[in-house]
Amino acid sequence: MKAIQIARAGGHEQLRLVELPSPSVGPHEVGVDVEAIGVNFADCAVRMGLSVSEHGITNTETGEVERHAPEAEVYERLGLAYIEPELREGRGEIKAAERGELPELVELEDVRGDLHSHTTLSDGKHTLEEMAEAARERGYEYFAVTDHSATHGFGNDVQADQLLRRVEEVRELNERLYSDGSFRVLAGSEVNILPNGDLDYPDEVLDELDWVIASVHTSFRMTREKMTKRMVAAVENPRVNCLGHPSGRLLLRREPYDFDVEAVAEAAARSGTMIEINGNPNRRDLSEQNARLAAEAGVLICLNTDAHQTGTLANMRYAVATARRAWLEPKQIANTRPWSEFQKLLEAN
């Protein structure tokens, strides 16, 4: 039997995962440090007349020692609602648990569609049909193909005439394979945000698309003021549905560019523009801190993979993990909605 116990060691509290062959036998395996996950069980215990040690939870008045096997029982005994592991960061989760105000976090199974992907038309490795079928097999109701636009800056970009042909290909694919309405492919594009905030396709081309995700792919070294102005202009563009990988960071390779996250989030909230959490493990962008900030500002978050091949559609789990660390519930995420509801969001935008 496994149990979770609390102990003090080296001046810090520790959370110990232990094996208890029988209820009367003590621990013999040690787990992780509580300080690292921000849960101060000791303070909660003291307020209740309890103490914690490697022996269990002790009533300081009677000396009675308790051991609890399910983790949730430890929280309950200390007067707390159960805190999901992703929330244990010292960002107010203890007070929220005491008040019963912890969020019902999004789960991978809540996601109904993926709205950022690439095919062989730009720099992806699989065709339109291969990507669509892989998304359908994951149980999604909708899937957007968003190949890179005309000024991507890294080659394999898609000129306007190619994009319009792709729109027709998507319509034909929907009619040929998905006419029963159980799945829908959206004709989209990941459009480059130019330095002045404009998009790199004419409006008449963008008007033919079902979905537009706008991202910065060039001119990363602008001043904070100019980059913020650039991004605000994009999210205020009525043809933009979502802002892609907003900070431009590549983990351990490229620092995020400097911009005012709050100003961009406020503009997105005013305009009804979504902001993505990009699940590419090299990006994880928005970060959990900025995703929480944006959601609290009233922005609908979109969980995407930026998949460039069928296998990386599985990276949705990283977008969900970031969303959970951001305290996000399904209602705060656009693509947890079934197609009928998500379609209304698109029409409203």
Segment 251-258 long-range contacts (CB within 8 Å, at least 24 positions apart): 251/281, 251/282, 251/283, 251/284, 253/282, 254/220, 256/285, 257/216, 257/220, 257/221, 257/222, 257/227, 258/223, 258/224, 258/227
- H-helix segments, the chain: 34-37, 41-47, 71-77, 93-99, 128-137, 160-177, 203-206, 224-235, 261-271, 288-296, 316-325, 339-348
* CATH number, domain with residue 123: 3.20.20.140
Domain count, the chain: 2
Question: What is residue 150's predicted lDDT score, i.e. its pLDDT?
Answer: 81
In DSSP terms, 147 is beta-bridged to 189
Of the given ranges (3-7, 45-49, 279-283), which has the lowest mean pLDDT?
Answer: 3-7
pLDDT for 79 beyond 70: yes
Whether 269 and 127 share a structural domain: yes
Give the model confidence (pLDDT) of 108-121 as tens digits: 999 999 999 999 99
Whether 233 and 287 share a structural domain: yes
Q: What are phi and psi of 284, to 5 degrees?
A: 45, 55
pLDDT, average across residues 255-278: 97
Q: Report CA-CA distances (Å) from 173 to 5, 113, 130, 211.
A: 56, 17, 11, 16
Question: What is residue 60's predicted lDDT score, i.e. its pLDDT?
Answer: 87
Whether 24 and 70 share a structural domain: yes
pLDDT for 347 beyond 50: yes
Question: What is residue 13's predicted lDDT score, i.e. its pLDDT?
Answer: 52
Question: What is residue 12's predicted lDDT score, i.e. its pLDDT?
Answer: 53
pLDDT tier, 24 (very low <50, low <70, confident <90, very high otherwise): very low
pLDDT for 75 beyond 60: yes
pLDDT for 16 beyond 60: no
Question: What is residue 11's predicted lDDT score, i.e. its pLDDT?
Answer: 52
Whether 35 and 134 share a structural domain: no
* CATH number, domain with residue 8: 3.30.210.10
Q: Are 102 and 87 in contact (CB under 8 A)?
A: yes
Question: What is residue 72's predicted lDDT score, i.e. its pLDDT?
Answer: 82
Query: Does 286 or 47 have the greater pLDDT score?
Result: 286
Percent of the chain with pLDDT over 70: 86
pLDDT for 279 beyond 50: yes
Whether 41 and 14 share a structural domain: yes
pLDDT for 141 beyond 80: yes
Of the given ranges (24-38, 68-82, 104-118), which has the lowest mean pLDDT?
Answer: 24-38
Question: What is residue 47's predicted lDDT score, i.e. its pLDDT?
Answer: 83
Return the half-sphere exposure (C-beta side, CA atoms, 13 A cut-off) of residue 107: 4
Q: What is the side-by-side strand order in the sheet with 142-148?
A: 113-114, 142-148, 184-192, 211-215, 242-243, 274-278, 301-304
Whether 89 and 114 share a structural domain: no
Most confident of 19-33, 152-166, 263-277: 263-277
- The CA distance from 324 to 110, in Å, is 12
Task: Show which of 99, 134, 153 is a domain's final residue.
Answer: 99
Percent of the chain with pLDDT over 90: 70
User: 188: domain range?
Assistant: 108-348
Question: What is residue 57's predicted lDDT score, i.e. its pLDDT?
Answer: 82
pLDDT for 85 beyond 60: yes
Mean pLDDT (the chain) is 88
Of the given ranges (1-15, 16-30, 189-203, 287-301), which has the lowest mean pLDDT?
Answer: 16-30
pLDDT for 135 beyond 90: yes
Give the model confidence (pLDDT) of 56-73 as tens digits: 788 888 888 888 767 788
Which of 145, 254, 237 minimizes the C-alpha distance to 200? 237
Task: Kindly report the number of other CB atoms within 10 A of residue 26's CB atom.
Answer: 12
Task: Show which of 59, 75, 99 is a domain's final residue.
Answer: 99
Task: Show which of 75, 99, 123 is a domain's final residue.
Answer: 99
Whether 269 and 121 share a structural domain: yes
